[in-house]
């Protein structure tokens, strides 16, 4: 497969305002909008860094996976998203190589992307998402 760039770093937070203010005012980074991803029960706020983004993840419901993550581990790094040009081919390639996946079939994510998460056991403790953006 061909990975083009780090699409984003997902970061679990308990509030959006304070981290947005920090990244914008103290680090001088650009805020790039917000979106509610209903399927994941999160409100997402994007911050541009070079060709990549930080993606702040705020749970919108107590039964969101990110709410559970915050309960167990607190705020901080959640996942690394890598952009591929053909996510269906990439997922098939990983399955053929016996790599463990959370999503055996790509599903819809933020920004109209198709996403598939690898299993953290396959990626040495790091939760890795592959994503493909619409043209």
By the criterion CB under 8 A, which residues form the site for a copy of itself? 1-6, 9, 11-13, 18-19, 22, 25-29, 49-52, 74-77, 80, 82, 93-94, 97, 99, 120, 122-126
Measured between its terminal Cα atoms, the distance across the chain in Å is 18
Strands 114-117 and 107-108: antiparallel
HSE toward the beta carbon, residue 100, CA cutoff 13 A: 9
Are the C-beta atoms of residues 7 and 53 closer than 8 Å to each other? yes
Helix, coil or strand: residue 122: coil
CB of 46 to a copy of itself, least distance (A): 14
Residue number, 52 or 60, with CB nearest to a copy of itself? 52
CB of 118 to a copy of itself, least distance (A): 9
Residue number, 38 or 80, with CB nearest to a copy of itself? 80
Residue number, 6 or 37, with CB nearest to a copy of itself? 6
Residue number, 38 or 53, with CB nearest to a copy of itself? 53
- Of 63, 64, 75, 61, nearest to 16 (Cα)? 75
CB of 77 to a copy of itself, least distance (A): 4
What is the Cα–Cα distance from 86 to 130, expressed in whole angstroms?
A: 10
CB of 99 to a copy of itself, least distance (A): 6
Separation in Å, CA 101 to CA 82, 105, 120, 129: 15, 9, 8, 10
CB of 17 to a copy of itself, least distance (A): 11
Residue number, 38 or 98, with CB nearest to a copy of itself? 98
């Amino acid at each position: 497969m061909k990975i083009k760039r780090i699409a984003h770093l997902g970061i679990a937070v308990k509030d959006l305002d304070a981290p947005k203010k920090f990244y914008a005012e103290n680090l001088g980074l650009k805020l790039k909008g917000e979106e509610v991803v209903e399927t994941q029960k999160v409100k997402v706020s994007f911050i541009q860094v070079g060709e990549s983004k930080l993606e702040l993840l705020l749970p919108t419901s107590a039964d969101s996976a990110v709410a559970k993550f915050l309960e167990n581990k607190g705020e901080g790094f959640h996942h690394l998203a890598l952009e591929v040009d053909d996510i269906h081919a990439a997922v098939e390639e990983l399955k053929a190589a016996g790599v463990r996946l959370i999503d055996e079939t790509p599903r819809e994510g933020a920004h109209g992307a198709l996403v598939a998460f690898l299993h953290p056991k396959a990626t040495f403790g790091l939760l890795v998402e592959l994503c493909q953006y619409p043209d």
